[in-house]
Amino acid sequence: MEEQEGEKFLPKDLPDEIPAHIGNDPQHYNEVKTVLSWSAHGRPYIPRGRQFYMTSLLIAFLIEVILFLFSQYLLMVVVAALVFMGFAFSLIPPRNFHYKISSEGITVEDHFYLWRELYDFYFVRREHMDILHVRTVDFFPGELIITLGDMHKNQIIKAMLPYLSYREYVKPTFMDRSGEWLYKNFPLEKRS
């Protein structure tokens, strides 16, 4: 009797079996299409001359002397480590990365970023090369910096515009302006 009362509330017009092919129709899936693919350096790289290294060593030595006079030994180690890291990045050319823009997102080597994780993109011109900056929604990584290599800027814009907003101008931050001012007024080597 209890079983009959429970059956009153169940729907009566359901089919006995749901066909498996309804939910698995290949036309319902979006295909992942590669829009653009290229290889370029993993980071912006400019070979430096002897003057760059000598000037950097001289500045680091002066900072080390000042820190020694104030007994800041730990900061001396930090300055030496930063100079070493700067020399390593300047001496060793980066390996080539493979970049791919698809209908699902951006792939940088083995890392994949979905379009919903990305915010917008813009270009910065440094040392006669265009560099693509893609800002992310999350705090980390914050920004993807992608070198273009032989790829032209307009090809990238055409490929990414359906998915992300393009910023022709991004207001530089205080740190950007300060770094640019130091770079222009106190160069570490003569520019050709």
Measuring CA to CA, which residue among 159, 32, 154, 37 is closest to residue 98? 37
- Residue-level pLDDT at 41: 94
Number of domains comprising the chain:
1
Q: Is residue 26 part of a domain?
A: no
CA 103/CA 123 separation, integer angstroms: 21
Q: Is residue 179 part of a domain?
A: no
pTM of the shown model: 0.77
pLDDT category, 86, cuts 50, 70, 90? very high
The edge-to-edge listing of strands for the beta sheet with 118-126 is 143-147, 129-136, 118-126, 165-166
Q: Is residue 22 part of a domain?
A: no
140-190 pLDDT tens trace: 989 999 999 999 999 999 999 999 999 999 999 999 999 999 989 988 888
Q: Is residue 24 part of a domain?
A: no
Measuring CA to CA, which residue among 109, 111, 119, 112 is closest to residue 160? 119
Measuring CA to CA, which residue among 154, 129, 113, 120 is closest to residue 47? 129
Q: Where do we find the tokens 């970049």?
A: 99
30-83 pLDDT tens trace: 788 999 999 999 999 989 999 999 999 999 999 999 999 999 999 999 999 999
Q: Is residue 102 part of a domain?
A: yes
Sign of torsion over alpha carbons 165, 104, 135, 36: negative
* CATH of residue 119: 2.30.29
Q: Is residue 18 part of a domain?
A: no
Q: Over 90: is that where the pLDDT of 133 sits? A: yes
pLDDT category, 18, cuts 50, 70, 90? low
Q: Is residue 9 part of a domain?
A: no
pLDDT category, 87, cuts 50, 70, 90? very high
- Residue-level pLDDT at 112: 95
Domain hosting residue 82, numbered range: 34-42+50-167
Asked whether the beta carbons of 96 and 39 are under 8 A apart, the reply is yes
Q: Is residue 5 part of a domain?
A: no
Those residues with Cβ within 8 angstroms of residue 122's Cβ, 6 or more apart along the chain or in another chain: 133, 166, 167, 168, 169, 170
Stretch (H or E) spanning 108: strand 105-108
Helix (H, G, I), strand (E, B) or coil at 150: coil
Query: In the predicted model, what is the mean pLDDT of residues 107-121?
Result: 95
- Residue-level pLDDT at 17: 62
